[in-house]
Structure 1
């Protein structure tokens, strides 16, 4: 860590001492920062006015030493990354999402935005290789779900919990095993897939299509077998996803919810009250599974491990969804081990028992401490 702090201090000093030019070019200090972040296996870089450069490593923020970033520093680092269209979006919407590549450090996803009237950014490092279900330490039951040919699989969890990596692994699993037409709709495209047994198209919102909703409506006329919708942000996209799942497609998508019960309520509550009964009916028919995920620090610098709640849409689960008994879903999950289900607390307990995470870490990330303790010796 001392070496990291020294290197970060040197590149921040280089950034602050460099002179600006009339022609904006990507600064050597930004290149150095991207390479350093990749070498340190950081997940994110945060660039904020009034703070040194910050790296997130194993889920924890690590502040660099040296001079703090100024407004000019941030402009010099960030503006050369933007195309003319992205710069216009930044000025119009005060924020822009995009991906970019670096010859040595790999691919990155960035969000450049304004705060306190100045530029700021969050830059995420994207792994060079498409992850697999096994490499992400995900339960084998998820592989069996990806063998299904029709229905809706929802991946949920907070920002930064690994949803994008998990969905990339799902797509790669199908791509490597089946002859399918897979279409992904993403904002932005993060993992760049290549054709294996399947044919893959990747549509980027804002570049190839104006919105998720319009892309989902259009994709039904493009003869897909599998559709990935990066995020269901509005009722129009949700309705289109449900229709696609009902009409013979496997649909994968994500939501920012913490568990299966919240997920069902979020979807239904996105629609007017007069339509909610119909949406519950559609949801009960289309749903295959809800997977809620969070990343948990491992023991002894071992990285991060996913803790997951898995709800498989059995007949009993579908009946609860249809009749609006979302509060009873958790009891179905806790007793559904034979169908591949598990609660978040059960998943955390398994990670403790396999010596991947500590007991204290599990308790810090659980939803029901008393229940978690009942699973632990």
Structure 2
């Protein structure tokens, strides 16, 4: 099985939020908040090949200079938010699965107070929480609500 097939299979598994990849190391994944090890190993140079295939020249230069880059990646029908980085053990990346569709505020079970708050024309809303707690999904659902109900654009 290729590394991409392993990543896709892991991502489809229930409860998988993050997939950690590092050259010459086994794939790691976060399931229900616990980091686990997968039997598939990442070959040497995999991260660099991924970056070369996916990034523009200026993004590659930024990665070389800063040791860090963020981008999105699609593997089949799956979408990921990726942070690639340089570490003492070599290049690595963390891939976060992104939902293919944005749930509604109702589907997320957010309280009516959220809808009322985003309908106000003034004010500040802070969305905070731990990694993987649903901040981006909540914000996306709020934007979806506004786009579906108001002609702001």
TM-score normalised to structure 2 length:
0.85
1:326 equivalent in structure 2: none
Out of 33, 55, 62, the position equivalent to 2:36 is 62
Q: Using a 3 Å threshold, how does the CA distance of structure 1 residues 58 and 132 change in structure 2: closer, same or farther? A: farther
Gaps of 5+ in 1: 1-10, 12-28, 182-377
Residue matched to 1:142 = 114
Cα distance in 2 for partners of 1:60, 1:105 equals 25
Per-residue deviation, 1:70: 4.9
Which residue of 1 is the match for residue 13 of structure 2?
40
- Secondary structure of 2:102 counterpart: coil
What is the Cα deviation at residue 64 of structure 1? 0.6
Q: Between Structure 1 and Structure 2, how many residues are aligned?
A: 152
Structure 1 position 63, deviation (Å): 1.1
Q: Within 2, Cα distance between the matches of 1:79 and 1:48?
A: 16
Query: Which is higher, the Rg of structure 1 or of structure 2?
Result: 1
Moved more, 55-64 or 84-93: 55-64
Alpha-carbon distance change, 105 to 59 in structure 1, aligned in 2, over 3 angstroms: farther
Describe the superposition over 1:226-262 as per-residue Cα deviations: whole angstroms up to 9, x where unpaired.
xxxxxxxxxxxxxxxxxxxxxxxxxxxxxxxxxxxxx
Alignment of 1:72 onto 2:45? yes
The answer to whether structure 1 residue 96 and structure 2 residue 63 are counterparts is: no
Deviation (angstroms), 1:54 = 1.2
SS in 1 for 2:106: coil
**How far apart, in 2, do the equivalents of 1:85 and 1:60 lie?**
35
SS in 1 for 2:53: helix
Shift of residue 50, structure 1, vs aligned partner: 5.3
Question: CA offsets per residue over residues 73-126 of structure 1, 9 Å max, x none?
Answer: 433444423222221110111100111223x23221100000016110001111
Matched, 1:86 2:59: yes
Please report how far the alpha carbon of residue 146 of structure 1 lies from its aligned counterpart in structure 2 after TM superposition.
Answer: 1.8
Q: Summarize the alignment of residues 282-293 of structure 1 with structure 2, pairs less than 5 Å apart.
A: none
